[in-house]
């Protein structure tokens, strides 16, 4: 897998890549007939991804492998994370079916059959899901005589967008990550984040709660484009917790923000002093000062009082 990722991709893989969430989610969303024939306790999460770099802005995927009573079964979860549905989702699924078949043949050169695949699409966008659900719907015209020569398959759809009334099922952790994805496009993301923080308090394993909290805060800052770090810290200050571990994390998060705020102020002050004494600083100098550590900023601020050149300040 390459390093290209979006906040949606990262959050999906961090959340649904947790085995406890994967098992609980599948238990509530696979058909009952299929659940009766598989053993979810055998679930393994593959590191494979079949989404190319050019499609990473639209899709993320995870591959789950479980034991069916008749042999192995692959559950392919495709997360469609654009704000509106991707019309050509079936083409991405077809690419996966072919790629998975090739990979299986290489691993089992003597096999004469391929294991079954259950394709599941998760969608959380703003618009209604209107993409075709059967591959034949992509082909036109399709004379009856040609129908047998065209692939025919569909997929299961789990639409958790805010425009649907889909029930968010599962244990608190599974519900939390689904609601986080449902509400990421909300017009009031900070209020929604506050709702999610109350759910985190219900997560029994506190280490897991901390990991989920950190991932959630990062997702809402990076994924909404409308939630600032200072807003998150203010929200955390308004939601005191009696849990020692959570309180320690929140205190550190808030203090980190204060330190970053002071550091930004010190950098801005130094840039103003440089402008007044040596003229407008270059973009290179601005970038260097903006990313400098506190010790460097303090050292440069002392030097500028007596230095006769900018080089003497920053050397």
User: How far is residue 248's CA from residue 198's CA, in Å, rounded to a whole number?
Assistant: 17
Res. 255 pLDDT band, cuts 50 70 90: low
The residues spanned by each domain of the chain are 7-169, 244-314
Residue 41, pLDDT above cutoff 60:
yes
Residue 251, pLDDT above cutoff 70:
no
pTM (predicted TM-score): 0.76
Res. 3 pLDDT band, cuts 50 70 90: very low
What tens digit of pLDDT does each residue of 160-202 get?
Answer: 987 777 788 999 999 999 999 999 999 999 999 989 988 888 8
Share of residues in the chain with pLDDT > 70 (%) = 90
User: How far is residue 300's CA from residue 315's CA, in Å, rounded to a whole number?
Assistant: 9
What tens digit of pLDDT does each residue of 111-139 get?
Answer: 999 999 999 999 998 888 989 999 999 99
User: How far is residue 131's CA from residue 133's CA, in Å, rounded to a whole number?
Assistant: 6
- Give one word for 74, left, alpha or beta, with left for phi > 0 and alpha for psi -120 to 50: beta
Sign of CA dihedral 223, 226, 229, 234: negative
Q: Are 179 and 196 in contact (CB under 8 A)?
A: yes
Residue 2, pLDDT above cutoff 50:
no
Q: What is the pLDDT of residue 281?
A: 85
Q: What is the pLDDT of residue 246?
A: 63
What tens digit of pLDDT does each residue of 4-39 get?
Answer: 568 899 999 999 999 999 999 999 999 999 999 999
More confident residue, 257 or 18: 18
Q: Which residues pair with 60 in a beta bridge?
A: 79
Residue 56, pLDDT above cutoff 50:
yes
Q: What is the pLDDT of residue 287?
A: 83
Q: Which residues, at least 6 apart from 60, have a Cβ–Cβ distance to it below 8 Å?
A: 8, 9, 12, 13, 49, 51, 78, 79, 81
Tell me what the pLDDT averaged over the chain comes to: 86
Q: Are 26 and 64 in contact (CB under 8 A)?
A: yes
């Amino acid at each position: 897998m390459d390093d290209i990722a979006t906040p949606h991709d990262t959050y999906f893989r961090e959340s649904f890549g947790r085995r406890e969430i994967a098992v609980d989610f599948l238990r509530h969303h696979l058909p009952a007939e299929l659940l009766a024939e598989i053993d979810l306790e055998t679930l393994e999460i593959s590191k494979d991804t079949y989404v190319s770099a050019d499609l990473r802005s639209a899709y993320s995927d995870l591959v789950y492998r479980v034991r069916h009573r008749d042999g192995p079964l692959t559950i392919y979860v495709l997360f469609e994370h654009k704000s509106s549905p991707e019309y050509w989702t079936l083409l991405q699924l077809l690419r996966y079916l072919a790629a998975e078949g090739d990979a299986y043949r290489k691993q089992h050169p003597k096999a004469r059959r391929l294991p079954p695949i259950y394709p599941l699409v998760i969608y959380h966008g703003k618009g209604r899901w209107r993409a075709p659900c059967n591959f034949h719907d992509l082909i036109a015209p399709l004379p009856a005589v040609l129908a047998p020569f065209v692939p025919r398959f569909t997929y299961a759809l789990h639409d958790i967008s805010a425009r649907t009334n889909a029930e968010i099922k599962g244990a608190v952790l599974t519900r939390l990550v689904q609601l986080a994805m449902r509400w990421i496009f909300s017009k009031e993301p900070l209020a929604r984040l506050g709702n999610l923080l109350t759910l985190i308090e219900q997560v029994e394993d506190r280490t897991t709660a901390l990991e989920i909290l950190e991932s959630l805060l990062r997702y809402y800052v990076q994924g909404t484009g409308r939630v600032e770090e200072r807003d998150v810290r203010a929200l955390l200050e308004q939601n005191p917790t009696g849990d020692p571990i959570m309180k320690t994390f929140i205190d550190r998060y808030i203090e980190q923000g204060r330190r970053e705020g002071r550091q930004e102020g010190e950098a801005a002050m130094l840039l103003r002093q440089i402008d007044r004494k040596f003229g407008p600083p270059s973009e290179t100098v601005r970038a260097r000062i903006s990313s400098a550590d506190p010790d460097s900023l303090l050292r440069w601020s002392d030097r500028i009082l007596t230095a006769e050149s900018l080089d003497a300040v920053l050397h």
